[in-house]
Structure 1
Amino acid sequence: MRKLVLSALAASVVAAPAPLLAQDEAQDEAPLALEEPGDDFSGMAERFKDPEQQRQMALMLRTMSEVLLDMPLAPLMEALNDVGGSVAGEDAPEVDPDATLRSMAPEADRVPEEIEKNLPRALDAMGSMAEAMEKMMPALKDMAERMKEVGPTNE
């Protein structure tokens, strides 16, 4: 059960920043250009290191995790069985119609608070990594060009 809780929360953490970042892009009305990686990383670094953005994302993910903890599990298990999903060749177990992640894993109650507490630090680290990538990009481009020159040709 712990794996199920962690999987659900991990999925929400991975998926949640995309709408927030997309909202920022829409406000700027300038999509990030892949041809200019420095712009991508500097913009990302700014957003990830911005305390207000961190607070908003942490609150949003805390709310999403609260919702996930209270979501009924029975429909999910039924859907898993309907699509032929099985674990080690066995059908998903029958689940009480009122069961939720919170009721099946009471220790998961602390997850929303932990997300809110730790996400700003994680985003700050991601911002620092984006800044480092921006600084490394010219050297990586040079290395790629040299590899093209010394690598085998398809001619």
Structure 2
Amino acid sequence: MKRKNLEEDDCPIARSLSEIGEWWSLLILRDAFLGKRRFGEFEKSLGLAKNILTSRLQKLVSHGILEIAPASDGSAYQEYVLTQKGKDLFPILVSLRQWGERYLFGSQGTKQILVDELNQKPIRKIEVRSHDGRELKPKDVKLLFLDTKRKTKPAKKK
């Protein structure tokens, strides 16, 4: 069965998943946020076949989430660096991590914890807040359609 192309879907979640929805892509982003930059570092961390890793990295680069840069140590290697678009995914990965910690590890808990580097204290739970600062739950929001006649197009890539 052919997968539906979500790149022009009206839903922002669907379009986002078309760019980052593959689980290997999310794990590559996790590693990038943890400081990994080189192909070999991703390969070692993920245990992923070279052809699949190459494909996922190329896709993240083509979508402007990662960019290829000369190695920061001056060597002949290249590095994969998060762009601003990629860095803006940080709260999403933290939320996904917190959800996994809460629901997927049972009473044993996880063997890792995400902490603030400055004080080594666990980071606070990500929350959705209203314009005036109230914490919002699903029952507190609704989807407002701005213009049902206008069909949105994907943002142009840089």
Question: Is this a same-fold pair by TM over 0.5?
Answer: no
If asked which structure has higher relative contact order (CA below 8 Å, sep 6+), I would say 1
Structure number with larger C-alpha Rg: 1
More helix by share: 1
TM-score of the aligned structures, taking structure 1 as reference length: 0.23
TM-score of the aligned structures, taking structure 2 as reference length: 0.23
